[in-house]
């Protein structure tokens, strides 16, 4: 027995690159949306809190501290609004202008740590490219550099040129980070779109292949089985006409009719074998393995699989058992809220036993009505002289067990 562990599946729809060159933080398509956007959000708030505390610490009077505290709070609220509406910012330039104005006022306050307030412009250098694209972002970055340089010259005199020169490298670098994130978001979204188109094309090809196979089978039935059935009908008709006067000839006609019927049966078996679902190639254990692998990837729920490869599943039961497994897993995904599922196939007591068990919420069988899915599973198993058992209880998970006669018990 082994466990099928689903890979990380991104949540939420893949977002595009926005209008023009804009790209907001939450434009990042999964799985980048959670990781990178969370990192940007967290770093932005850390920078805001740390730099606000440092800037407030350097202020020289209470009135300035109150004003600076209020401005930092306004900056934080604007920052939150920017993240909240980053996917489709309605007024990104206005939002950037308001935050820049707040920082400019903070820089004008008499603080001994004015550089702390100037550092807020560093984070804005990343966001302006994400919001506005590289061209407009470059203009804002130039404005940020001018503001920070003016504050440095005001604070340190000509020595502030050193700070201005340092910022001349820092702000464009931050803009490049924002551009790289926006480009990564667009590239990921384009790959997601290409994958969706590829899957659509594959689905169309499968439909074309199915239609062609149906036409081929139709020709085979017409050219083989139909002709044998026609020959059988003709021989039976001849036997009926000869039965009264020439019974020996009638007997020969019936023999020929029987041979034609046998040939028709053989050809029908050939067609039925060709109609056998391709998903059952390799047998039921392999088909169940593929099913559980796919289901785990789609739902994100781990599946423990125990499949005995030596199980002798009757051919007429293969399709039914696979459909029971599909329906049971579908019910788990829709209703159970399970953290783990177990699927097993074994042979015991002259029966093939398929079991699907989950650790989900379960239900009260006395109060819940039998759904179409359970009824369908019951009909499939009963048609094979088997039985279907469903064991469940509120909070105790659900176990679906299908039993059908094994190959050795076929009649």
- The DSSP line for 243-271 is TTT-HHHHHHHHHHHHHHHHHHHHHHHHH
What's the pLDDT at 28? 38
Tell me the CB-side half-sphere exposure of residue 37, using CA atoms within 13 A: 22
Give the separation between CA 310 and CA 346, rounded to whole angstroms: 9
What's the pLDDT at 88? 40
pLDDT higher than threshold 80 for residue 331: yes
pLDDT higher than threshold 70 for residue 360: yes
Give the separation between CA 113 and CA 214, rounded to whole angstroms: 79
pLDDT higher than threshold 50 for residue 240: yes
Residue 238 burial by Cβ neighbours in a 10 Å radius (0-12, 13-18, 19+): middle
Give the separation between CA 327 and CA 356, rounded to whole angstroms: 10
Confidence category of residue 275, pLDDT binned at 50, 70, 90 = low
What's the pLDDT at 355? 92
Higher pLDDT, 28 or 130: 130
What's the pLDDT at 35? 64
Give the separation between CA 185 and CA 131, rounded to whole angstroms: 13
Do 141 and 171 touch, CB atoms closer than 8 A?
Answer: yes
pLDDT higher than threshold 60 for residue 20: no
For residue 111 the two structure tokens come to 């603080």
Helix, strand or coil, per DSSP, at residue 305: strand
Do 4 and 303 touch, CB atoms closer than 8 A?
Answer: yes
Calculate Rg over the CA atoms of the chain.
36
Helix, strand or coil, per DSSP, at residue 340: coil
What's the pLDDT at 124? 83
Give the separation between CA 276 and CA 283, rounded to whole angstroms: 11
Find where tokens 């980048």 sit: 32
Higher pLDDT, 276 or 300: 300
What's the pLDDT at 280? 65
pLDDT higher than threshold 50 for residue 359: yes
What's the pLDDT at 30? 38
Higher pLDDT, 171 or 23: 171
For residue 291 the two structure tokens come to 């099913």
In tens, the pLDDT along 149-169 reads 888 888 778 887 887 888 888
* Mean confidence (pLDDT) of the chain: 76
| Lowest model confidence (mean pLDDT) among 51-60, 291-300, 332-341 | 51-60
Mean pLDDT of 15-32: 39
What's the pLDDT at 33? 53
Tell me the CB-side half-sphere exposure of residue 233, using CA atoms within 13 A: 6
Helix, strand or coil, per DSSP, at residue 346: strand
Do 82 and 89 touch, CB atoms closer than 8 A?
Answer: yes
Q: What is the dihedral of CA 395, 396, 397, 403, to 10 degrees?
A: -150
Mean pLDDT of 90-95: 75
Q: Each residue of 81-91: b (16+ CB within 10 Å) or e?
A: ebbebbbebee
What's the pLDDT at 25? 37
What's the pLDDT at 27? 40
Do 350 and 398 touch, CB atoms closer than 8 A?
Answer: no
Q: What is the end-to-end Cα distance of the chain in Å, rounded?
A: 32
Helices 247-275 and 160-220, interaxial angle, to 10°?
Answer: 180
Mean pLDDT of 335-355: 87
Share of the chain above pLDDT 70, in %: 81
pLDDT higher than threshold 60 for residue 385: yes
Mean pLDDT of 128-143: 84
Give the separation between CA 160 and CA 107, rounded to whole angstroms: 14
Mean pLDDT of 267-287: 69
Confidence category of residue 126, pLDDT binned at 50, 70, 90 = confident
What's the pLDDT at 26? 38
CATH 3.40.50.1100 fits 280-409, yes or no: no
Give the separation between CA 51 and CA 57, rounded to whole angstroms: 10
Helix, strand or coil, per DSSP, at residue 24: coil
pLDDT higher than threshold 80 for residue 74: yes
For residue 39 the two structure tokens come to 């990192």
Mean pLDDT of 33-45: 67
Polymer length in residues for the chain? 411
What's the pLDDT at 122? 82
Structural domain boundaries of the chain? 25-189, 197-278, 280-409
């Amino acid at each position: 027995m082994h466990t099928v562990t689903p890979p990380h599946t991104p949540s939420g729809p893949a977002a595009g690159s926005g209008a023009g060159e804009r790209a907001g933080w939450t434009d990042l398509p999964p799985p980048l949306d959670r990781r990178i956007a969370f990192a940007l959000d967290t770093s932005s708030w850390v920078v805001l809190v740390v730099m606000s505390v440092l800037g407030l610490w350097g202020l020289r009077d209470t009135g300035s501290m109150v004003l600076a505290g209020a401005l930092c709070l306004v900056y934080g609220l604007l920052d939150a609004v920017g993240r909240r509406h980053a996917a489709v910012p309605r007024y990104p330039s206005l939002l950037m202008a308001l935050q820049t104005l707040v920082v400019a006022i903070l820089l004008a306050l008499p603080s001994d740590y004015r550089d702390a307030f100037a550092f807020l412009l560093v984070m804005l250098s990343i966001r302006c490219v994400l919001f506005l694209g590289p061209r407009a972002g470059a203009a804002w970055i130039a404005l940020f550099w001018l503001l920070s340089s003016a504050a440095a010259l005001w604070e340190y005199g000509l020595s502030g040129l050193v700070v201005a020169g340092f910022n001349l490298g820092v702000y464009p670098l931050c803009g490049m980070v924002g551009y790289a994130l926006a480009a990564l978001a667009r590239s990921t979204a384009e790959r997601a779109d290409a994958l969706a188109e590829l899957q659509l094309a594959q689905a169309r090809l499968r439909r074309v292949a199915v239609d062609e196979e149906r036409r081929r089978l139709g020709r085979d039935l017409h050219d083989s089985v139909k002709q044998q059935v026609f020959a059988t009908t003709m021989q039976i008709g001849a036997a009926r006409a000869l039965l009264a006067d020439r019974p020996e000839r009638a007997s020969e006609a019936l023999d020929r009719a029987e041979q034609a019927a046998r040939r028709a049966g053989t050809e029908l078996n050939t067609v039925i074998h060709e109609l056998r679902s391709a998903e059952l190639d390799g047998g039921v254990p392999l088909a169940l393995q593929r099913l559980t692998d796919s289901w785990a990837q789609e739902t994100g729920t781990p599946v423990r699989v125990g499949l005995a490869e030596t199980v002798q599943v009757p051919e007429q039961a293969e399709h039914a058992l696979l459909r029971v497994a599909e329906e049971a897993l579908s019910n788990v995904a829709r209703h159970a809220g399970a953290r783990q599922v177990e699927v097993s196939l074994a042979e015991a007591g002259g029966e093939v036993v398929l079991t699907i068990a989950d650790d989900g919420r379960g239900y009260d069988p006395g109060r819940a009505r039998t759904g179409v899915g359970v009824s369908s599973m019951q009909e499939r198993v009963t048609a094979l002289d088997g039985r279907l058992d469903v064991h469940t209880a509120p909070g105790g998970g659900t176990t679906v067990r299908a039993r059908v006669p094994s190959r050795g018990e076929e009649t």
